[in-house]
Structure 1
Amino acid sequence: MRHVLVFAKTPYSKTPYDQWLAGTGIEPVILTTTEFAPGYAHLPLVHAFDDYDTNQLVEKTALRLAREHVVEAVFARAEADVVRAAQLRQLLGLPGQHTASALAFRDKVVMKDHLAGGAVEVPEYRLLDSAYTAVEFVAEHGYPVVIKPVSESGSLGARVIRDEGDLDAYLARPWRGTSQIETFVEGRMYHVDGLVVDGEVVFVHPFQYVNDCLSFRDDDWVGCLPLSPRDASYDRLVKAVGSVLDELPTPPHTAFHAELWITPDDRIVFCEIASRTGGGMISAMVRHAFGIDLDKEWLYAECGLPSTLGEPGYRPAGCLNIPPSTGVLEHLPTGGEPDCVREVSYTGRIGQEFHGGVKSGLYLAGYVVDGDTEDEVAANMQAVAAWYAAEVRWRPADREENAR
């Protein structure tokens, strides 16, 4: 039996690795979170960890298991696992993304260092190593600016600094890790998702955001839907991401999720790119819209298995991620969705206390919605969000719950 080591920071329902690998002669060795472990419990080689993102026993155990089972490949689809997986491959001499590539797709300063002066415009930026740097950067470029962690995803920790009061508030309680500061870009944000196999882009498509990446800050939903190939921005966005992939140390096999702005004066400006599939319900939306499971195809490429990728079809479909509100969840709608809903995912339980949105890719309720046209999908997304808001129920947390 051959083995692949999988860093599995996703529920089994989203990534049934054993089902994907059935009949291939390859068995997955799973490292996952304590939360997701029950879903993988039927598999023989599963190891679960508390504090998964920061627990370094994950790496220690991964190294032991990789040697014990003589794994042929390492697979990781979550942002938290990109660098640890790359380091393990490099240590063991396994094919795939190694450390320098992982850092270029993970660290926003390293990323922009690769891209600055290239084919795609990049905002002015600087590593935020002290408050002095922030003051000097604002003096040079003016307000507004954006401060964000160099290695987080889903807009976690990102702050738009519009004036001196905003800057003082940030400096009084700065992000706990390393951050960067960059000029604010006015414009509409798009994301471009795709798959690279054997060094070639075998699938790519741009998507437009409905609301924006920071909607979760107001406990509002964020959604996205495919851009029509007839849209004037379609080819420009695809070309821009191709240039970015050419200028970065892109691994031979990877999914990618890029974000770019189109400004009011019609410039394309780079935001960031990750060597993974998009968060939230993006992979599910791609599967419904194009008939492609990006995670499965990426796994097959890493394992050296022949692709099952056919000629992509297309049916307009979008997704929306709805964050939790603040309070205790009393009721989730568990049926009776509008007819346009094709897939549903809930991540919370009744009686659980929440404190609002955390990041754009983390949701309490996720939906994939379809329609006959992109405009109809957009309208259906609004209708599903309204239906959910009318059905979900919350109550304030009592003092004992808050104390805990």
Structure 2
Amino acid sequence: MSVQRILIFLLAALLAACGKPEPIVIGFIAGLSNRTTDTGEAARNALTLAIEERNAAGGIGGRPLRLLVGDDGQDAATAHQAMQALIRARPAVIVGPYTSAMADVILPLADAAGVVVLSPVITAMHFVGKDDMLIRLNRSTRDNAADYARVLAERGLHRLAVAYDVRNRAFSESWLTELRSQFPAYGGEVIAAVEFESTADTMFSEVAARLLETEPDGLLFIANAVDVARLAQQTRKLSPNMPLAAAEWAASEQLVELGGQAVNGLLIAQSHDRTDEAPRFTAFRDAYRARFQRDPGYSAIASYDAGIVLFQALERRKSGQSVKDAVLRHGPYPGLQHLIEIDAFGDSTRPIHFAEIRDGQFVLVR
């Protein structure tokens, strides 16, 4: 091949490369192979939808977005390995994790690598008010426990027995601590707290029996949807009319699907309004249904909001500006149902809506 032909070939290859802008890598980490799969899959689906829509609109500055998914398995070693793999891909940001226990594992890695972690849902108090690489798009356990304390007392529940999952200890113990602190102001008391470790072999019948032997006014479960469904079923066998409540972690569609009649009457908070008929929310809901053949739950809505935050911050990011600084400075962000404002520590908040499960549906009660 002549030198002239070689030069023409190299020039053509260079022009072809120039015609394909380098994608912006967006990392994602959640539990996709364990008992919190429902929230992880819904979150991944919503972020996938957000990225597909953004790419169809031209990406960010003409660059497409590429999603790279990691499974934390709700296991420290698995999460550590998944996070390291994501960091090696040099993502602009990593969306996740979806439990406080996994945040404890991956945040030191993110801090060391200087990679922003944008968590749509974590709430534990020890993540609040810190200048690190974590951006939170949710309320805190203090906020949620205070609202639960008030609503439970208004419903006449003053002697509460609590079961909590220590596999997500960072969240469940923070939530329980805040409830114990807030409940007395409303005349309430946590009279018993029974810990358990979420596994396929957990004896939920024993947990329910230990709670009920304290003769409470009601039971509260701080656990994922699968375990709350099992706890409710075992409780109904022993005390059919016992009032039940669950922390917001369990507020996914899987709770209703698995719990059946046992979760009827259960009180639970949600970070979104399922009855919202505003055009922007219904457009998202309809697109999600069409793409994934199911309704979006709280982790899906929060993750789509994370996409909104990320895209606006990257689009407005100035030359030389870090991603973290861009996220902190280029808000507020128009979330699906509320205006997202992020403070100097990367903390945010969300509205709260209490629902009661009735005949397989989440029905707003306040």
Per the normalisation by structure 1, the TM-score is: 0.36
Q: Tell which structure's C-alpha radius of gyration is larger.
A: 2
Higher normalized helix content (fraction of residues): 2
Higher normalized strand content (fraction of residues): 1
